Amino acid sequence: MDKILIHGGHPLSGSIKVSGSKNSSLPILAATLLTREPCIVHRVPDLSDTHYMLQILIHLGGQVERASGTVSVTAEKIESIAPYDVVRKMRASVCVLGPLLGRCKEATVSMPGGCVIGDRPIDLHLKGFEALGAAVRVEGGNIKVFAPKLCGAVINLRGKFGPTVLGTDNVMMAAVLAEGTTVVEGAAQEPEVVDLADFLNKMGAKIEGAGTRRLIIEGVKELHGAEHDIIPDRIEAGTFLVAGAICGKGITIKRVTPEHVKAVTNALGNCGFRLEATGDSISVSPNGETKPLELVTEPYPGFPTDMQAQMCALLSTTDGISVITENIFPQRYMHVAELKRMGAHVDLEGPTAVIQGVDHLFGAPVMASDLRASAALVLAGLKADGVTEVSRVYHIDRGYEHLDEKLSELGAHIERVKG
């Protein structure tokens, strides 16, 4: 099992390009199941999660070709059953339910596995399918959905901790082939949802309101093939911005959409860093003394839960007392115990982390527990004295395309070794 070794204390400088969005790629690849015609998707990142999704498409009958960051999918004849062995490695595999239901009017998909950052139920997905006229059964670890036909409906997808992104994606993909008009209230506003809607509209769907809390979907009889470029990964961009803040002399993140990371750049600006955005680039550099922060994670356009762990790493060495409240996944603090091993002072009070900044972090063996926690440990290692050894880096490979190589380009002393 690979490990990443980071020799801390080396300042970062230069520029890197952001990869295509993981969280856009997965539902957009799933959406290719909605048509018999070929679809071409550009800027698909080279990640284990995208590899798993392509394996699922192949299992379901799709013909898949991949060349660098371009994926071609032709799903002329497809199966509607995705068993456990195929979907168990990735929770986001549940997003094939919507397109299979839309096209085949039935689907059987194994229940996605649990997640270390807490319970992530799919009840809102199923509620949406039922509103469209599907019968839903959960038996033997499988979700079975079927309908003689799907009919437009008014659906509210707001859950306990806010709108569901994958649920919005799933219902949208089913509704595009339903009869009549579907109105989704409480829809997720994330850029990745907008990206999926843009792709579906290129395929002939009629979706309005993407990026707002209210989607209006006019069903069509069939969709055709389309070509699409995935948007930049805003969480990767945010992670590199924090890397530049935590130990940078001045770095530039290229091929990013500044509006998508505004919550992160606002937070870094409030922390005392200088940021400049021009076109599709953002630069971050020191600007004198830093200041503590109070952050609350919220659905987009609020501060993203996927950046909470990385900010914990930054604020661990920021003077004063910072407070982060996790409103999306209250149990998402698995990185805290590992940061403490490196000398961080963090107290957890329910969903709130109280962080007392320290002068130094110290390299230590640490273990990644999930995707964003692993990124936080790498960022802490960049700042720490000595060597940090991060194990279980397969978590990193789920969502960051060649993270160690990109950090090396910026001047980090980082290497991947076989465990």
Written as one letter, the residue type at 40 is I
Close Cβ partners of 32 (under 8 Å, ≥ 6 residues apart)? 39, 41, 57, 62, 73, 75, 99
Residue 87 and residue 102: Cα distance in Å, rounded? 19
Helix, strand counts (H, E) of the chain: 14, 26
Report whether 134 contacts 146 (CB < 8 A): yes
Q: 112 preceded by cis ω (within 30°)?
A: no
DSSP state of 160: T
**Token output for 207:** 């979706």
CA 67 to chain centre: 23
Among residues 95, 104, 115, 247, which one is catalytic? 115
DSSP string, 290-314: ----EEEB-STTSB-GGGHHHHHHH
Residue 42 and residue 227: Cα distance in Å, rounded? 8
- What separation in angstroms does the CA of 116 have from each of 11, 194, 235, 322, 335? 32, 27, 19, 25, 11
User: In 342-402, where does DSSP find H-type helix?
Assistant: 371-383, 394-399
SS (H, E, C) 121-132: CCHHHHHHHHHC
Question: Alpha-carbon Rg of the chain, whole angstroms?
Answer: 21
Longest dimension (CA), the chain: 65
CA end-to-end span of the chain: 5
Report whether 384 contacts 341 (CB < 8 A): no
Concerning whether 115 is annotated as a catalytic residue, the answer is: yes
Q: In 111-212, where do the E strands start and end?
A: 135-139, 142-146, 154-156, 158-159, 162-163, 181-185, 206-208
Dihedral (C-alpha) 28, 29, 32, 33: value to the nearest 10 degrees? -120
DSSP state of 320: S
Residue 142 and residue 156: Cα distance in Å, rounded? 24
How many residues does the structure list for the chain? 419
**Token output for 388:** 């940090």
Q: Which residues are designated catalytic?
A: 115
